[in-house]
């Protein structure tokens, strides 16, 4: 069986149009879904083991099963297309190049959930994709796949696209719902969860773009066959956004039993690190995930081969592991400055905090200020411990995960690269000799590459 399920037709010219998409099997999963009961579709998704592809990795079928079904109350499916995680761009690729795959996934999912209205909430910076999706929706409706009594099934469905205003916080599902209702995108306290009271206080399922698109191949090949791909509880394929110091940056669809080493060094995927440089570090799941030092990227702390699976990447917890997250895979070579890159991330999270929770509102600001001091030659040794204290006072003390997203990279950087922080503090005049994102260290290099890179 081909290991490509979502992108198997991505190379076909015109696949973004209805005619070409339909010619290559498009909307066949909808036809199959209409011959099944909604409960049977949910069961297939449960059998598949599909986990949310937006970051948390929660089992999709289980999430669907939580949806409340009170009589006389509408239910909604909301597609989270607010892809704002630094290092992640795979949903953009999918929507831009194969928009009908998402539309087909929305139809199948809405039918399974008994939702007659679907919403796609898309990142405001993706405005050109709004028009791509709206065109695809219009084509699908003209062909009878949306509207009243779709294909004589008795099922009615309308899908709407709503652009956000450029707020990263709206990637959090309850903040997204607030924004979709026309309010400021602040996360809600939970419970109640969206499955009980979501959009307009009605039962709602919020799923990521890739998650919804994956329903199409699951129905095509069956949940059991989908579960045979991957390893353990990491089933199926995953879209990975690969960037950083690699020869072949881009979007790749991988089976989840692929080794990290093969993903980085194989010509099929990232193609290795340019100019023969050594691997210094990697962030496997987007900027909010803990940083892995080079010696823990391809091997776990136990010496086992690390796989691109949820479990393998998390092996050892945050002490020696990370998370697959949204699949924003960023590679750092030996010339990259961890402190400078961390400062850049801290600036982002400080800017994007909604300000609702004081640990995040104040803490992200402190992280940025302290890292700025260290990076620009004004730091003290005590600042490293202060950074550690601040991230501890953020992590786990906020309504939504944005606070931990800012704290985890800081904690892992100090844990694995403390020597680099100390070098900046001991060499203030050299710490400012830099290009953006890359330090031009004195030659010979004043600070050795971490053991991680050897």
CATH of domain 338-453: 1.20.1440.230
d(C-alpha 27, C-alpha 29), whole Å: 5
What's 307's DSSP letter?
B
For the cut 80, the answer to whether the pLDDT of residue 439 exceeds it is no
d(C-alpha 123, C-alpha 175), whole Å: 13
| pLDDT value for 448 | 35
Which among 250, 249, 270, 248 is positioned nearest to 259, based on CA atoms? 270
For the cut 70, the answer to whether the pLDDT of residue 281 exceeds it is yes
* Residue 333 CA from chain centroid, whole number: 23
d(C-alpha 352, C-alpha 152), whole Å: 46
| Residues of each domain in the chain carrying CATH 1.20.1440.230 | 338-453
Query: Which residues, 6 or more positions from 155, have their beta carbon under 8 angstroms from its beta carbon?
Result: 34, 111, 116, 149
Q: What integer is the mean pLDDT of 83-100? A: 96
* 305-353 per-position pLDDT tens digit: 999 999 999 999 999 999 999 999 999 999 999 999 999 999 999 999 9
| pLDDT value for 429 | 79
Confidence of residue 446 (pLDDT cuts 50, 70, 90): very low
| pLDDT value for 1 | 42
* Omega within 30 of 0 (cis) for the link into 173: no
Which among 371, 343, 361, 350 is positioned nearest to 397, based on CA atoms? 361
Dihedrals phi, psi of 435, to nearest 5 degrees: -105, 170
Which among 107, 89, 85, 108 is positioned nearest to 97, based on CA atoms? 89
For the cut 70, the answer to whether the pLDDT of residue 159 exceeds it is yes
- 3-class secondary-structure state, position 323: coil
| Residues of each domain in the chain carrying CATH 3.40.50.11540 | 18-226
d(C-alpha 213, C-alpha 215), whole Å: 5
Reading the block at residue 336, the tokens are 């990259």
With contact defined as beta carbons under 8 Å apart, do 76 and 203 qualify?
Answer: yes
d(C-alpha 126, C-alpha 163), whole Å: 8
Strand intervals (E) in 284-355:
292-293, 328-333
In this structure, is the dihedral angle defined by the CA atoms of residues 283, 309, 260 and 89, taken in order, positive or negative?
negative
| pLDDT value for 432 | 61
The single residue listed with the structure tokens 């998390």 is: 314
Q: What integer is the mean pLDDT of 238-247? A: 97
Element (H, E) at 119: strand 117-122
What's 245's DSSP letter?
S
| pLDDT value for 433 | 57
Reading the block at residue 288, the tokens are 């909010």
For the cut 60, the answer to whether the pLDDT of residue 454 exceeds it is no
| pLDDT value for 431 | 66
For domain 231-333, the CATH class is alpha beta
Of 3.40.50.10490, 2.60.40.10, 2.40.170.20, 3.40.50.11540, the CATH number of 18-226 is 3.40.50.11540
| Residues of each domain in the chain carrying CATH 3.10.20.600 | 231-333
- Cα angle at 123 between 246 and 110, to 5 degrees? 110
Confidence of residue 450 (pLDDT cuts 50, 70, 90): very low
The single residue listed with the structure tokens 């009170």 is: 70
Confidence of residue 2 (pLDDT cuts 50, 70, 90): low
Beta strand pairing call for 328-333 and 279-283: antiparallel
* 373-428 per-position pLDDT tens digit: 999 999 999 999 999 999 999 999 999 999 999 999 999 999 999 999 999 999 88
Which among 176, 50, 26 is positioned nearest to 105, based on CA atoms? 26
């Amino acid at each position: 069986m081909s290991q490509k399920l979502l992108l198997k037709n991505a190379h076909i010219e015109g696949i973004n149009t209805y005619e070409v998409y339909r010619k290559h099997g498009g909307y066949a999963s909808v036809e199959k879904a209409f011959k099944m009961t909604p409960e049977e579709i949910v069961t297939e998704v449960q059998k598949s083991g599909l986990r949310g592809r937006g970051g948390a990795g929660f089992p999709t079928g289980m999430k669907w099963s939580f949806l409340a079904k009170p009589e006389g109350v509408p239910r909604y499916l909301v597609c989270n297309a607010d892809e704002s995680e630094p290092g992640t761009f795979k949903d953009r690729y999918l929507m831009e190049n194969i928009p009908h795959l998402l539309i087909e996934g929305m139809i199948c999912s809405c039918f399974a959930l008994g939702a007659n209205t679907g919403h796609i909430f898309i990142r405001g910076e993706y405005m050109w994709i709004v028009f791509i999706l709206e065109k695809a929706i219009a084509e699908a409706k003209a062909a009878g796949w949306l509207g009243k009594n779709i294909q004589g099934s008795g099922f009615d469905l309308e899908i709407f696209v709503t652009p956000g205003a450029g707020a990263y916080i709206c990637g959090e599902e309850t903040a997204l719902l607030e924004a979709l209702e026309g309010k400021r995108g602040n996360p809600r306290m939970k419970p109640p969860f969206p499955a009980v009271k979501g959009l307009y206080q009605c039962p709602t399922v919020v799923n990521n773009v890739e998650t919804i698109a994956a329903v199409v191949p699951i129905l095509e090949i069956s949940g059991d066959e989908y579960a045979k791909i991957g390893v353990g509880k990491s089933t199926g394929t995953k879209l990975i956004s690969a960037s950083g110091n690699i020869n072949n940056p881009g979007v790749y669809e991988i089976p989840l039993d692929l080794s990290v080493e093969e993903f980085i060094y194989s010509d099929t995927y990232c193609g290795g690190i340019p100019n023969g440089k050594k691997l210094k570090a990697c962030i496997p799941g987007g900027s909010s995930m803990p940083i892995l030092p080079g010696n823990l990227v391809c091997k776990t702390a136990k010496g086992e081969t690390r796989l691109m699976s949820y479990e393998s990447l998390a092996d050892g917890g945050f002490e020696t592991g990370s998370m697959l997250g949204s699949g924003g895979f960023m590679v750092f070579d030996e010339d990259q400055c961890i402190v400078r890159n961390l400062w850049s991330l801290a600036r982002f999270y400080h800017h994007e905090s909604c300000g609702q929770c004081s640990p995040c509102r104040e803490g992200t600001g402190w992280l940025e200020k302290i890292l700025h001091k260290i990076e620009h030659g004004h730091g003290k040794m005590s600042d490293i411990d202060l950074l550690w204290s601040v991230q501890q006072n953020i992590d786990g003390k906020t309504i939504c995960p944005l606070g931990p997203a800012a704290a985890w990279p800081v904690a892992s950087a100090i844990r694995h690269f403390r020597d680099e922080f100390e070098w900046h503090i001991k060499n203030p005049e050299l710490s400012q000799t830099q290009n953006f994102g890359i330090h031009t260290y004195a030659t010979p290099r004043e600070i050795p590459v971490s053991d991680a890179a050897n």
